[in-house]
Amino acid sequence: MELEKLSMHEGYKKFCSKYPLKKLSMPKSDLVWCYYDINSKKENIVIFLHGVCGTAGCYFYQLDNLSTLGFRVISLQYPCYNNLKDWMKNMCNILEYLNIKKAHFFASDLGGYLIQLYAKLYPSKVESLILCNSYRKTDNFASIASLRNIYGKFYSFLPHVLLKKIILENYIYLNYEHVDLKEMNSLEFMSNEIDLISASDLGGRISLQLSSDNIDKIYMNDKCITILQTLNNIYPDSLNDDMKKAYPLAKYAIMKSGGNFPYLSRHEEVNMYILVHLRNNCNTNFIKQQITTMSTINLNKYKKEQTNQYNHEHKYYDKGSYSQNSNLHNCTYNK
């Protein structure tokens, strides 16, 4: 919780000094998974999966917050896999290594796509899902859909400088003209993380995003799913609306702003939504009580900050310096 008082850079630095990044080499290959694993427990486990340009550390705000509540939190960073079959097989291997039989999952963009495929094959291993700015279909990412499984694999052979340029222009800094300071900080954070990811890993992620598999049905209760979306993410409305149609009974957390990485730029609101989701999907009474208390604290704090920000902006609006509704990032939670 103390990380919230620091700048994003300082908070991440403090988190990294407190928790070591672990690594696991997969058998019969030179591929290495990186991960954070905080609090060794066999239940109340929350696993985080990054997107195209993320790392295990991009969820440091959520890891710090949930670990203080007694959850076992794990953030996985997967290496280069050029096809879904290999990714799925090794996902099973690392969960077996970590002795995880069932868990809650928070996943963003590509990670959300992958975990939906995992949940489709292994629904008994997924307690609940939070899908952040994610999608079910990859048609929008390929101009020639019938060939994407072929040319997608070639990205793994491109040099790092070219892959970084592709990701910066098409994922991180796409449509970023009208963003506030917190969103800009999140963009800079993610662009810096790109330098820590190998060229083969970056290429593998693009290959996975060009996979031709669409998710038609997950054999789990929609009520165990929360769809978290920001209205200013980079994905077209068709992909965002498709998620709502696919899971009509899921809960929807809609944020007016936050960009592609709200878990960084709006981490307090995202943490609040995670707590609400876990309170509804966690069976342990002790954890539920802690979540209820923390949810109330976070909600009151958020309301106070919004009131202060609103008053501050109106003060300057009266002087003609700011527009009346500038930078307000209210959010709604729909059942």
**Tens of pLDDT along 34-58?**
999 999 888 889 999 999 999 999 9
Parallel/antiparallel/unpaired status of strands 126-132 and 103-108: parallel
Q: What DSSP letter does each residue of 71-104 carry, written as one string?
A: -EEEEEE----SSHHHHHHHHHHHHHHTT-S-EE
In whole numbers, what is the pLDDT of the chain averaged over residues?
A: 84
- Mean pLDDT across the stretch 166-194? 89
The pLDDT tens digits for 228-272 are 999 999 888 888 899 999 999 999 999 999 999 999 999 999 999
Q: Give which of 52, 67, 66, 160 is closest to 107, Cα–Cα.
A: 52
Q: What is the DSSP letter of 20?
A: P
Query: What does the pLDDT read at residue 56?
Result: 98
Rounded Cα gap, residues 246 and 242, in angstroms: 6
pLDDT band (50, 70, 90) for residue 333: low
Q: Which SS3 state, helix, strand or coil, does residue 127 take?
A: strand
Rounded Cα gap, residues 332 and 318, in angstroms: 28
Q: What DSSP letter does each residue of 230-264 carry, written as one string?
A: ETT-SS-HHHHHHHHHH-TTSEEEEES--TT-HHH
Q: What is the DSSP letter of 186?
A: H
pTM: 0.85
CB 220 within 8 A of CB 246: no
Residue 315 has pLDDT above 50, yes or no: no
Residue 316 has pLDDT above 50, yes or no: no
Rounded Cα gap, residues 180 and 197, in angstroms: 27
Q: Looking at 14-23, 70-79, 181-190, 211-220, which range is the least confident one?
A: 211-220
Residue bearing tokens 């009580």? 289
Query: What does the pLDDT read at residue 334?
Result: 60
Q: Give which of 274, 250, 278, 251 is closest to 262, Cα–Cα.
A: 274
Residues 6+ apart with CB under 8 A from 286: 70
Query: What does the pLDDT read at residue 30?
Result: 86
pLDDT band (50, 70, 90) for residue 329: very low
Q: How many CA atoms lie within 13 A of 167 on its CB side?
A: 32
pLDDT band (50, 70, 90) for residue 150: low
Q: Is 29 exposed, middle or buried (0-12, 13-18, 19+ CB in 10 A)?
A: exposed
**What are the φ and ψ backbone dihedral angles of 218, each rounded to 5 degrees?**
-105, 130
Does residue 317 or residue 125 have the better pLDDT?
Answer: 125
Rounded Cα gap, residues 28 and 120, in angstroms: 27
The percent of residues in the chain predicted with pLDDT above 70, rounded, is 81
Q: What is the DSSP letter of 158?
A: S
Q: Please tell me the CATH code under which domain 2-319+326-334 is placed.
A: 3.40.50.1820
> How many whole angstroms from its chain centre is CA 10?
21
**What are the φ and ψ backbone dihedral angles of 252, each rounded to 5 degrees?**
-120, 125
Rounded Cα gap, residues 49 and 211, in angstroms: 18
What DSSP element (H or E) covers 130?
strand 126-132
Rounded Cα gap, residues 96 and 103, in angstroms: 12
Write b or e for each residue in 46-57: b if 16 or more Cβ atoms lie within 10 A of its Cβ, otherwise e: bbbbbbbbbbbb
The pLDDT tens digits for 264-285 are 999 999 999 999 999 899 876 7
